[in-house]
Structure 1
């Protein structure tokens, strides 16, 4: 017999199978000797009361053998199958490739950057010397932006596809089973490279291909139908379907499409700063205690407020995290955040951004690059304000709100370094003013948040793509080019690892239907 119940567990004992049996027995009124195993289905922290607890949905196995689930990498061989070109090896591209294999198709994955191991050298050059390789950085390379910027798997995209199946694929390639049960699952930047490598190996073992340093410079289109792609080195690769999963920072891809008269559209996005606090401030506020102790993880937060008819909200919150330089060109500042799996760094950071609507940016409403050009201009202003070498403009929080230059800046995690700047000189006035109004309100919502111990680092500008590549809702194909499947964050259809992975699966299934 199987029975599902909820149990409440004190921190530190949520992984103790014997203790869970005791709780399960008390909660179900079934003797412990009849319970052969307890499987945790969902687990979340509840900090609303005086004591912080774990609320857990568990499945009891009663009077029958308990067999733990296993997750295996098992894919059919497709070496001689019909070819599908996938441009980009981020989560959308990798999951599209694995789904193509499941569907009996051969994926040819083209990645402009390097594999995860070689990417590390370029990231070291970014952090230590302020040198950006436009083809290999925090955004470009195997695994995409998520590989070296955290691996948070929280998503609201549950209606778009099989979230559980995506998580199980990660587990089959090396992620811990915790991601299957935690309310806010997280892999960690230190673990993601091995998982991404294992996914590549699954593609290769099945007969697919993964090619690095392969930058696509044009699409081969004949009478409105895709025929393949042309690479920067002049090589032409033929296929009857192309999944375009290039990420939100591949500006040259948007230019390529526009040059080939393939429709793209401007779309709204959000822009602001990354805010970093000492982690202990966030823990005290969220756990209502002086010291969270060893049994609780570093706490997170989620804040949102409407200010002058625009949303101001926290985004990509990284407990125990690090602020990273995520520029893709040499004259811009872009910041993001990441955490290792243990989230054991002394700082907590989060993007804090203002929603930008189409009418906020002046110019030709039909110009597809209007929002992208605005994004790029702000990043370049931030670079100049920092003074070069990826030094970022920054300001203490209360100083920002009260309009004064910070005399000094707190110790922080941004390795290239920060320069004290009045951020009103970097951010457009209507964004600056909304942030200025929102931060004290956030402080009233979360005790201790509004403090000069917090630093604002500019700019957080790659929250989502400022351009959308249109596609048919049912077939996933571009309306002008048969066999072209815009996919993931870069096309405007995802906003994180899980939603991008789901979109990759959906596009691969769209290819199968297209092939018939």
Structure 2
């Protein structure tokens, strides 16, 4: 009998001796879908007969473009002398009709995942959403893109699924310490997402697919006795003796409950103002501000994959860039390979941009938010006045509207022209449907943001060949990176320090930054509620 070798010395993780073994393999792009090839490589690295491997499961998949040859790096579990077992992601939902109610303001990821967790706990979620369901929301987005008309309650930020529904469905997060990232991904798979999101290093659903998943989550909530109210705007949260009692809707209807989760997203300014009027604590919070930068996707592919033409076996390339300029962070944010720049204003008289990609990421452009840190000390009175950064954000968005000329037309400038302070004589073709207007972005951006971007972009060009080019366009403004207001809460109970039973939640309250982290925070808030 051959003496066993300690496999961990070779980067092999043993799960059950002689049954399941996990290893990392480099795989050429053209072989990534060839299971027979992966089986052969696995058998060779494990030094066992191919016939002993009865199946495999890829746990993680990422692209390694550091060398001249781009490869996929995959972590694979090989089933040796045993058959693989299908993974099941159980959700123990119970029928909650008649159970104690939890009011959830907002049907974004924080609100919807709070509702799913309520079902597991035997609590009855009642989700209140100011916007429309995903099907009806599409019509308002079409008008927004074609005519530049904003419905303040139904747009890219407000409506079923929240800002993420029509802004891509990126699932990459660094929020592992906040909760169970894998559980969020599993629930998305259970509601229709492909299981690729469990494997890919940068999981992504796509704007074309995410609405169907959101609908499936809605059906789960309704099937098990929960409620979802669309076109229902909360205008008051009521309390008595420091304990929440319910909410009042714009229709005049009052809903009673001892627990209210506020998951309204980063653009619900009216809820921040409601808290302030009621003398409930809110505070200014740092955020980031800048522009969307769009390149032809082929420029990014050539830079990242070291090629003249991207292989058909590789996805459109991604990038992440960060630089310190005078002690201030400048960084790319929400990068969209094969994507589209979208108008994300929530009211007339403002221009706000964001980005999204379809599931195939097959549009000819790559865009990314490129933003600069905005700190409390950058804005007068921010330490004392909770809306100082909110007002600052809004003023920039209004200037963008004025400089763009209205109807959501965005001020824009070619990259090198921006750095050298020239008005662009013309603008390249781009993906922003309401249209772009050549302008000096120095007329829109605060001086410290403008100057930091001017210094950072050539430095980015040194890090990534081809990035610094006049073929790239800067479109203003990227201002809704996160909420400029935080609603404080107790770190243990997750309740507002002044109001028992009131749970500030998710991105709008200042406790998340994307779909997955918001979903985790929603589940955490539901877990904090005693049935």
Range of TM-score over shorter length: over 0.9
The residue aligned with 1:155 is 173
Paired residue for 2:123, among 105, 128, 133? 105
1:3·1:60 contact (CA, 8 Å) conserved in 2? yes
Q: Cα offset for 1:14?
A: 1.9
2:405 corresponds to 1:391: no
The residue aligned with 1:290 is 308
- Aligned ranges 1:81-100 → 2 under 5 Å: 81-100=99-118
Q: Cα offset for 1:13?
A: 2.5
Q: Cα offset for 1:23?
A: 1.4
1:73·1:202 contact (CA, 8 Å) conserved in 2? no
Q: CA separation in 2, counterparts of 1:80 and 1:11?
A: 54
Cα-to-partner distance string for 1:129-168 (whole Å, 9 max, x where unaligned): 0000000000000000000001000000001100000000
**Which runs of 5 or more structure 1 residues have no equivalent in the other structure?**
none
Q: CA separation in 1, counterparts of 2:507 and 2:168?
A: 16
2:92·2:120 contact (CA, 8 Å) conserved in 1? no
Q: CA separation in 1, counterparts of 2:430 and 2:407?
A: 17
The residue aligned with 1:465 is 483
- Aligned ranges 1:336-485 → 2 under 5 Å: 336-363=354-381, 365-485=383-503
Q: Which moved more, 1:357-366 or 1:453-462?
A: 357-366
Paired residue for 2:52, among 9, 31, 34? 34
Q: CA separation in 1, counterparts of 2:45 and 2:230?
A: 54
Q: Cα offset for 1:8?
A: 1.0
Cα-to-partner distance string for 1:162-207 (whole Å, 9 max, x where unaligned): 0000000000000000000100000000000000000000000111
Q: CA separation in 2, counterparts of 1:226 and 1:208?
A: 20
Paired residue for 1:62, among 57, 80, 84? 80
2:191 corresponds to 1:173: yes
Q: Which moved more, 1:462-471 or 1:14-23?
A: 14-23
Cα-to-partner distance string for 1:220-249 (whole Å, 9 max, x where unaligned): 100100010000010000011000000000
1:45·1:53 contact (CA, 8 Å) conserved in 2? yes
- Aligned ranges 1:6-45 → 2 under 5 Å: 6-45=24-63
2:376·2:382 contact (CA, 8 Å) conserved in 1? no
Q: Secondary structure, in 3 states, of the residue corresponding to 1:333?
A: coil
- Aligned ranges 1:128-277 → 2 under 5 Å: 128-277=146-295
2:284·2:382 contact (CA, 8 Å) conserved in 1? no
Paired residue for 1:503, among 521, 526, 529? 521
The residue aligned with 1:314 is 332
1:73·1:173 contact (CA, 8 Å) conserved in 2? no
Q: Cα offset for 1:74?
A: 5.4
1:45·1:52 contact (CA, 8 Å) conserved in 2? yes
Q: CA separation in 1, counterparts of 2:517 and 2:381?
A: 31
Q: CA separation in 2, counterparts of 1:84 and 1:378?
A: 37
Q: CA separation in 2, counterparts of 1:4 and 1:441?
A: 40
The residue aligned with 2:144 is 126
Paired residue for 2:93, among 75, 85, 89? 75
Q: CA separation in 2, counterparts of 1:146 and 1:309?
A: 31
Q: Secondary structure, in 3 states, of the residue corresponding to 2:31?
A: coil
Q: Secondary structure, in 3 states, of the residue corresponding to 1:134?
A: coil
Q: Cα offset for 1:76?
A: 1.4
2:106·2:129 contact (CA, 8 Å) conserved in 1? yes
2:346 corresponds to 1:328: yes
Q: Cα offset for 1:22?
A: 1.1
Q: TM-score, normalised by structure 2?
A: 0.96
Root-mean-square deviation over aligned CA pairs: 0.9
Q: Secondary structure, in 3 states, of the residue corresponding to 2:30?
A: coil
The residue aligned with 2:4 is none
Q: How many pairs align?
A: 513
Q: TM-score, normalised by structure 1?
A: 0.98
Q: Cα offset for 1:72?
A: 5.8
**Which runs of 5 or more structure 2 residues have no equivalent in the other structure?**
1-18
2:71 corresponds to 1:50: no
